Amino acid sequence: MKSKNNKIFLIIASVLAIIFIFSVSALCNMCGTTKKKTDIDNNGTNDETTGTTSADATETTSEDNGQDDAKKPTIKLAIYEGPTYAPESGVCFYRIKATVTGDPAPEVKFSKDDSLGTLGAGKCQVNINNPGDTYTLTATAKNKSGEKTETLELSWGCEAPNRDPVINLLETTIAEEKFYINSNCVLTSNATDPDGDSLGYKWEVTGGTLANANSQNTTWTMPASAGTYTLKLTVT
């Protein structure tokens, strides 16, 4: 009877041992699953963090590029006066202003400045000497972030000045050796115009009569009384 009881006890103990082993195995498997899940979560977190870091880096780079572009100089040229004709020098001139941006403020240099700097910073004057002349103005804005160049084509834009005609000859011719009352005097003139314009004539006298006051040459009939008279010719 005792032997039978021992067998039953061994069987029960064996079953309990098997159950315990399976229980421990199940717990270990659960531990492994939890750890694996934790690894996945960690990897996911790492991946998400990496993605966030990458996005932040890209955004920062973009902002830096924008700041660099804002610091680089820009320049725009505009005529603020002219074309203007200067009769004392015979030139047609323009005055130009450069509008610039950049950080730090760019320094502006012009390829030509006939004002010799008297107009102030960022401004210049360009003289065109003859109607057929042209000039290409170059302006450069420069700072530590870079430089930018702009050009402006200039040509004679002034109205051609109307220069006065020149009287080259004014003669009086009489038959006698002296001027006598009621006698005739031939008035002869010669004039030229530097611009090649047609000329008009106007004779004036303070006494006597003129055969044609608006011709290049005319005849003056002297007055009937002696005296001093003024003869005038205007050419236009």
Query: Which residues 6+ apart lie within 8 Å of 168 measured at CB?
Result: 190, 191, 192
Instruction: Calculate the CA 1 to chain-centre distance.
Output: 120
Q: Are 96 and 77 in contact (CB under 8 A)?
A: yes
Pick the CATH number of 74-155 from 2.40.50.140, 3.90.550.10, 2.60.40.10, 3.40.30.10: 2.60.40.10
Instruction: Give the whole-angstrom CA distance, residue 205 versus residue 218.
Output: 12
Nearest alpha carbon to residue 234 among 198, 178, 189, 196: 189
| pLDDT value for 69 | 72
pLDDT for position 154: 98
pLDDT at 8: 60
How far is residue 183 from each of residues 10, 52, 145, 204, 217, measured CA to CA in Å?
Answer: 177, 116, 90, 17, 17
pTM of the model: 0.50
| Cis bond upstream, residue 131 (ω within 30) | no
- Give the closest residue to 127 by CA, choosing from 84, 69, 98: 84
Q: What pLDDT digit, counting tens, does each position of 163-173 carry?
A: 899 999 999 98
d(CA 137, CA 96): 9
Predicted local confidence at residue 174, as pLDDT: 83
The vertex-161 CA angle with 157 and 164, nearest 5°, equals 175
The pLDDT, as a whole number, for residue 223 is 94
Burial, 96: exposed, middle or buried (Cβ in 10 Å; 0-12, 13-18, 19+)?
buried
Number of CB atoms found within 10 A of residue 71's CB: 16
Per residue of the chain (236 residues), give pLDDT as tens: 545 555 565 566 565 666 666 555 555 555 554 444 444 444 444 444 444 444 444 444 455 565 667 799 999 999 999 999 998 999 999 999 999 999 999 999 999 999 999 999 999 999 999 999 999 999 999 999 999 999 999 999 998 778 899 999 999 988 777 788 989 999 999 999 998 899 999 999 999 999 999 999 999 999 999 999 999 999 99
Q: What is the pLDDT of residue 50?
A: 45
* DSSP codes, the chain: -HHHHHHHHHHHHHHHHHHHHHHHHHHHHHHHHHHHHHHHHHHHHHHHHHHHHHHHHHHHHHHHHHHHHHHS-EEEEEEEEEEEEETTTTEEEEEEEEEEE-SSPPEEEES--TTTTTT-TTEEEEEE-STT-EEEEEEEEEETTEEEEEEEEEE--SPPP-PPPEEEEEEEEESSSS--TT-EEEEEEEEE-TT-----EEEEESSSEES-TTSSSEEEEPPSS-----EEEEE-
- How far, in Å, CA of 10 to CA of 213, rounded? 161
Query: What local confidence, expressed as pLDDT, does residue 176 receive?
Result: 72
Identify the pLDDT of residue 160.
76
